[in-house]
């Protein structure tokens, strides 16, 4: 079974190797999220939080009003477990409109508590212990514990800097008869890579050759720069019914705390995913699903503005980081920048992240939390730029103290 490297240096509260008889074995091999821990440290040291990826600017008034109205109108009880019908209908219409993908709201769309629940519900629904899951590395840290909780084994395929491409031969070598699925996160967290058609064709061909699923995390689908285009792999020939497509409201509508996401999958897969989802959470918050109907029906300008606003912030954070002595990898999508820290001469990313949050007053995420071998991320920090321009400027001021 895969184990996740311990991250004890950032986690003084963690008591290593002292499991009481009431703590399960399955919680032994992973730690708390480093990303969320950095948010706690940012609060503790009053640091500018460029760690956990959530906006610090307000959500749209229209959406907030819709949520308030839903509560006032008494939409406050359990929703139908797989999502209120108007939201499933709105999701179906959105995928039809945006990507020409048809999903039946009755049998193929499930609303979950964010993409986070959607992913673990999916993995629990499709894997057996011993199955292999292919994961591109660096990876979003949740996929580690998700795989462990399912008893699945991860096989890593490197994304190579500076453009975070993968080597097709290495990808092929990762597939085996035990491969159940590949997890594909595009636009990618943490690298900002947007997988193009050629890359998706290679992945799709291998999924079909090895009879494997593509489980996609597409939550940054509308945050794209420099002409990059998001292509759901489900659109590719032969892939619709071997893809489990996951996305959410969090990043597209700047409401990460609402916890409304969804899974689109063929009826047989959906049946299993819905069973897990039902017993994990029953359902995502009813009034926020009501507001989601409005969100999913927003005109196209919403998405154009989202990318335009973020490209300005991306360019600003890169200027700021370059000016402070980092070396940045320029993202094509999502809202993170991977920054090389070797110029600062710290032993590793943990030490540097701690120095930054405690002494300088800026929180970033240690790069090692995105690698299974921590040493590989030891000269990288991830910063997010889904923040007000004034927050980014405040970080610039503080970086003078490095």
Asked if 189 interacts with ligand GLN (CB under 6 A), we say: yes
Q: Which is nearer to ligand GLN, 51 or 296 (CB)?
A: 51
Instruction: Kindly give the pairing relationship between strand 213-217 and strand 179-185.
Output: parallel
What is the full DSSP assignment across 19-54? --TTS-GGGTT--S-HHHHHHHHHHHTT-EE-SS--
Q: Which is nearer to ligand GLN, 116 or 391 (CB)?
A: 116
> Contacting ligand GLN (CB under 6 A), which of 1, 15, 19, 36?
36
* Three-state secondary-structure class, residue 257: coil
CA count, 13 A, side-chain hemisphere, 330:
9
The answer to whether residue 97 forms part of the interface with ligand GLN (CB under 6 A) is no
Contact flags string 40-79 toward ligand GLN, x per CB under 6 A: ------------xx--------------------------
Residues 117-146 that bind ligand GLN (CB under 6 A): 140
Considering the complex, state which of residue 83 and residue 192 has its C-beta at the smaller distance from ligand GLN: 192
Size (the chain), residues? 402
Instruction: Write down the least CB distance from residue 124 to ligand GLN, Å.
Output: 18
How many chain residues bind ligand GLN (CB under 6 A)?
Answer: 7
Cβ of residue 35: shortest distance to ligand GLN, in angstroms?
5
Whole-angstrom CA distances from 292 to 87, 108, 114, 252, 258 are 6, 18, 12, 11, 10
Residue nearer to ligand GLN on the CB measure, 52 or 252: 52
Which strands sit side by side in the sheet containing 213-217, from one edge to the other?
109-112, 261-264, 243-248, 213-217, 179-185, 132-137, 153-158
Q: Could you give the 3-state DSSP secondary structure of residue 264?
A: strand
Closest CA to 112 of 278, 228, 268, 225: 278
| Cβ neighbourhood burial of 1 (10 Å; 0-12, 13-18, 19+) | exposed
In the complex, minimum distance from the CB of residue 116 to ligand GLN, in angstroms, rounded to a whole number: 6
Site map (CB under 6 A) of ligand GLN, residues 278-317, x = contact: ----------------------------------------
State the nearest-atom distance from the C-beta of 268 to ligand GLN, in Å.
Answer: 29
The closest residue (CB) to ligand GLN is 53
Smallest distance, ligand GLN to C-beta of residue 185, A: 10
**Distance set, CA 329 to CA 145, 265, 315, 326 (Å):** 27, 34, 12, 10
Residue ranges in 100-119 that form contacts with ligand GLN under rule CB under 6 A: 116
Query: 154 pairs with which residues across the strands?
Result: 133
> Rounded to the nearest whole angstrom, what is the least distance from the CB of residue 37 to ligand GLN in the complex?
10
CB of 251 to ligand GLN, least distance (A): 8
Q: How far is the CB of 20 from ligand GLN (least distance, A)?
A: 27
* Contact residues: ligand GLN, CB under 6 A: 35-36, 52-53, 116, 140, 189
């Amino acid at each position: 079974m895969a184990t996740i490297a311990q991250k004890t240096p950032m986690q003084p509260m963690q008591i290593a190797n002292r499991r009481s008889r009431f703590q399960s074995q399955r919680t032994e091999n992973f730690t708390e999220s480093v990303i969320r821990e950095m948010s706690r440290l940012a609060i503790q040291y009053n640091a500018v939080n460029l760690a956990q990826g959530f906006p610090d600017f307000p959500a749209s008034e229209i959406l907030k009003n819709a949520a308030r109205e839903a509560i006032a109108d008494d939409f406050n009880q359990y929703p139908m477990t797989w999502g209120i019908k108007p939201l499933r209908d709105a999701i179906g219409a959105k995928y039809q409109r945006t990507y020409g993908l048809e999903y039946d709201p009755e049998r193929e769309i499930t609303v979950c508590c964010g993409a986070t629940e959607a992913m673990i519900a999916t993995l629990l629904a499709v894997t057996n212990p011993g199955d292999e899951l292919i994961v591109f590395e660096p990876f979003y840290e949740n996929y580690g514990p998700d795989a462990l909780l399912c008893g699945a084994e991860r096989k890593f395929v490197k994304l190579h800097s500076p453009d975070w491409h993968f080597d097709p031969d290495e990808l092929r070598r990762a597939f085996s008869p035990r491969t159940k699925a590949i997890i594909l996160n595009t636009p990618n967290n943490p690298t900002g890579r947007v997988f193009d058609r050629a890359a998706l064709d290679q992945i799709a061909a291998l999924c079909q050759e090895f009879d494997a699923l593509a489980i996609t995390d597409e939550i940054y689908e509308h945050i794209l720069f420099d002409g990059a285009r998001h292509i759901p792999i489900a659109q590719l020939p032969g892939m619709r019914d071997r893809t489990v497509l996951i996305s959410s409201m969090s990043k597209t509508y700047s409401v990460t705390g609402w916890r409304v996401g969804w899974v689109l999958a063929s009826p047989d897969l959906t049946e299993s995913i819905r069973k897990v989802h039902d017993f994990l959470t029953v359902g995502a918050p009813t009034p926020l699903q009501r507001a989601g109907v409005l969100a999913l029906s927003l005109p196209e300008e919403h998405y154009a503005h989202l990318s335009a606003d973020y490209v300005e912030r991306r360019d600003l954070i890169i200027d700021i980081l370059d000016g402070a002595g980092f070396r940045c990898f320029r993202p094509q999508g999502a809202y993170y920048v991977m920054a090389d820290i070797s110029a600062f001469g710290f032993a590793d990313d943990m030490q540097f992240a701690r120095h930054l949050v405690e002494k300088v007053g800026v929180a970033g995420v240690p790069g090692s939390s995105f690698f299974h071998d921590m040493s590989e991320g030891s000269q990288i920090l991830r910063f997010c730029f889904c923040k007000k321009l004034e927050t980014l400027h405040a970080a610039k001021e503080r970086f003078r103290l490095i």
